[in-house]
């Protein structure tokens, strides 16, 4: 197609509408063009900003706008706007090269993309102008899901402000933040998770514990109405605030009642405690000592020991209740001291004092709270991890340079942990998980007609399904056993190959931290 030159001359330049296929892409400081389908589709709707070019004796050279020009060719545009300036009047090749580079740097260096907040505000304005989410999506060439996220974010002041302080936030993450506008603690946790690369883990845990957190917030609000300081976050173990049970008065007497503490130093730590109990077919509560806990639940032929009950025939119920543990924010200022424990008299096997019995009970309750909290975190991590795995295994090729690491992982699994491939139990079935990760089909079906690279991923899916079958929520408690070491190897493979970010409870499984270092809240 011939060039058309119906245009406007402005200053020393001239605006023309030209066939992009007739333009010559000049040497450019930008080394990659990265023409995405979305960009080509956007250009296909028309170029709003003219490309910059210089005219030599025979050619029109594109100095700025090579991506727009190439995308216009791909999109089949007949003409595009081109702003043409005269070529530098010099016979000095170095000077000409310098002029070209300066033009390209000036045109690109100081550009500023729309911020996430700008993007959200613009989409909101389009919606206020009467455009539906679908129409907005088609008009600005983005997914409807992104538009929905933007509209959900637009009404949240805290989410919009987070864009200013946490530049790494995506629209999807901001939409999640918007759900917690009335929960500053949840917002703080999500933002901290985003900074650590654990946003999805934190979001899932918050969703899983929404009912419990609502109970805690209600209790904290009730304390606030009474003028009592309260928190849903456990004070640090070695921090200034100390539990009332660890304190004594100036004479060394145990402080039994919070009323003995001056009001300004009282702090209520509010949490939710859980109680599991079992009932029989008639609804009668069963003494746990009468249950055969050693029974293999996955063995249909297993029978309970004489005189004991089969837990599979019972109904498990989990009760929740709000509990308050009192703390003293500044024991010294409150006139209190650390409580000491000791036996009243010597003996080979002295009886524990009441204080020691109370301390033991509190330690048992703390251990139970930790188990429940970390199990819940492990369940949230499992859900996030498996969603990520399904995403990873949908790829056509492995990440660049990962083939060697994958080969080592597959070899180690087949040699050391081949029994995992046959795992089939209530909380994990290797074959079912593999099918899930492959979109529902059998590995053989996924192999049919697939490229060699894709077949590597299918093989990896089989091994991942096997390892996932052996990742119970209690895995964080079993890190000191030789036969569970493969769990850490597996999780570290996900990190090395796919860039997966471990949750705090998964770091415990890998041996990178301890259970006591994981926040329970």
CA proximity to 153, closest of 199, 190, 117: 117
Provide Rg for the chain, Cα atoms.
32
Q: Confidence band (pLDDT; 50, 70, 90) for 256? A: confident
Look at residue 70 in the predicted model and tell me its pLDDT.
93
- Quote the pLDDT of residue 365: 77
Range of weakest confidence among 225-234, 336-345, 461-470, 477-486:
336-345
Q: Is the pLDDT of residue 3 over 60?
A: no
Per-residue pLDDT tens digits for 64-94: 888 999 999 999 999 999 999 887 766 667 7
* pLDDT value at residue 301: 78
Q: For residue 472, give Cα distances in angstroms to 231, 314, 424, 464.
A: 31, 22, 13, 14
Tokens of 401: 């340079």
Phi-psi region of 266 (alpha: psi -120 to 50; beta: other; left: phi over 0): beta
Instruction: Please determine, for residue 150, whether its predicted confidence score (pLDDT) is greater than 70.
Output: yes
Residue 64: per-residue pLDDT: 87
Q: Which domains does the chain have, with CATH numbers?
A: 14-147 (3.90.1530.30), 192-226 (no CATH), 242-339 (no CATH), 370-510 (no CATH)
Q: Report H helices in 93-143.
A: 93-109, 116-128, 133-140
- In this predicted structure, the answer to whether residue 5 has a pLDDT above a threshold of 60 is no
Say what the pLDDT of residue 6 is.
41
Q: What is the pLDDT confidence band of residue 409, given thresholds at 50, 70 and 90?
A: very high
Q: How far apart are CA 41 and CA 212, in angstroms?
A: 47
CA–CA distance, 500 with 491 (Å, rounded to integer): 9
| Lowest pLDDT segment from 69-73, 279-283, 421-425, 493-497 | 421-425
pLDDT band at 4 (very low <50, low <70, confident <90, very high): very low
What 3-state class would DSSP assign to 8? strand
pLDDT at position 7, please? Answer: 41
Instruction: Check if the beta carbon of residue 297 is closer than 8 Å to that of residue 312.
Output: yes
Give me the mean pLDDT over the 419-436 stretch: 86
Classify residue 340 by its DSSP letter: -
Q: Worst-scoring range by mean pLDDT, 57-66, 304-313, 359-368?
A: 359-368
Distance CA 442, CA 217 (A): 47
3-state secondary structure at position 410: helix
Determine the pLDDT at residue 507.
95
Q: How confident is the model at residue 490 (pLDDT cuts 50, 70, 90)?
A: very high
pLDDT (0 to 100) of residue 353: 66
| Residue for token pair 């959900």 | 152
Residue range 17-59, pLDDT digits in tens:
999 999 998 887 777 777 888 888 888 888 888 999 988 878 8
Residues 6+ apart with CB under 8 A from 351: 343
pLDDT(395) > 70? yes
* pLDDT at residue 451, as a whole number: 94
- pTM (2 d.p.): 0.72
pLDDT averaged over every residue in the chain: 87
Most confident by average pLDDT, 237-251, 416-430, 501-515: 501-515
Question: Within 13 Å, how many C-alpha atoms sit on residue 368's CB side?
Answer: 12
pLDDT of residue 404: 94
List, for residues 194-224, the tens digit of each pLDDT value. Answer: 999 999 999 999 999 998 999 999 999 999 9
Name the most confidently modeled range: 117-126, 242-251, 493-502: 493-502
Residues 96-122 have pLDDT tens digits of 778 777 777 776 777 777 888 999 999
């Amino acid at each position: 197609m011939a060039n058309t030159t119906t245009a406007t001359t402005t200053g020393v330049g001239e605006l023309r509408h030209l066939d992009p296929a007739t333009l010559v892409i000049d040497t450019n400081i930008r080394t990659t063009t990265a023409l995405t389908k979305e960009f080509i589709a956007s250009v296909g709707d028309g170029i709003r900003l003219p490309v910059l070019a210089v005219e030599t004796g025979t050619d029109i050279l594109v100095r700025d706008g090579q991506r727009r020009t190439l995308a216009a060719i791909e999109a089949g545009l007949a003409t595009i706007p081109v702003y043409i300036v005269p070529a530098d009047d010099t016979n000095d090749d170095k000077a000409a090269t310098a002029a070209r580079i300066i033009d390209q740097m000036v045109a690109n260096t100081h550009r500023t993309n729309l911020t996430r907040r700008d993007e959200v505000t613009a989409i909101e304005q389009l919606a206020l102008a009467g455009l539906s989410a679908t129409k907005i999506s088609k008009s600005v060439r983005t997914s409807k899901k992104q538009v929905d996220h933007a509209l959900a974010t637009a009404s949240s002041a805290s989410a919009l402000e987070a864009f200013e302080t946490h530049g790494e936030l995506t629209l999807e993450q901001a939409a999640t933040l918007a759900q917690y506008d009335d929960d500053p603690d949840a917002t703080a946790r999500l933002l901290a998770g985003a900074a650590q690369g654990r946003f999805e883990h934190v979001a899932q845990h918050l969703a899983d514990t929404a009912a419990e957190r609502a109970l805690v917030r209600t209790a904290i609000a009730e304390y606030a109405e009474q003028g009592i300081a309260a928190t849903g976050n456990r004070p640090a173990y070695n921090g200034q605030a100390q539990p009332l049970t660890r304190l004594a008065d100036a004479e060394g007497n145990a402080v039994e009642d919070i009323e003995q503490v001056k009001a300004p130093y009282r702090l209520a730590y509010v949490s939710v405690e859980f109680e599991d109990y079992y009932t029989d077919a008639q609804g009668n509560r069963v003494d746990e000592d009468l249950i055969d806990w050693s029974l293999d639940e996955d063995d249909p032929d297993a029978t309970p020991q004489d005189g004991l009950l089969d837990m599979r025939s019972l109904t498990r119920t989990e009760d929740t209740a709000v509990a308050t543990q009192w703390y003293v924010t500044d024991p010294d200022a409150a006139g209190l001291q650390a409580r000491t424990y000791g036996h009243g008299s010597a003996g080979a096997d002295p009886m524990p004092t009441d204080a020691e019995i109370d301390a033991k009970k509190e330690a048992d309750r703390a251990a139970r709270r930790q188990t429940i909290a970390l199990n819940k975190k492990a369940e949230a991590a499992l859900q996030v991890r498996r969603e990520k795995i399904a995403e990873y295994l949908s790829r056509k090729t492995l990440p660049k340079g990962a083939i060697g690491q994958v080969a080592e992982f597959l070899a180690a699994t087949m040699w050391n942990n081949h029994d995992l491939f046959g795992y089939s139990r209530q909380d994990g079935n290797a074959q079912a998980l593999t099918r899930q990760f492959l979109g529902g089909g059998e590995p053989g079906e996924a192999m049919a007609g697939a490229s060699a690279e894709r077949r590597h991923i299918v093989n990896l899916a089989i091994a991942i399904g096997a390892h996932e079958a052996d990742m119970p929520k209690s895995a964080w408690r079993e890190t000191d056993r030789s036969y569970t070491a493969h769990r850490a190897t597996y999780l570290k493979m996900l990190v090395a190959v796919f860039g997966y970010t471990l949750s705090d409870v998964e770091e415990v499984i890998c041996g990178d931290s301890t259970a006591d270092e994981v926040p329970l809240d």
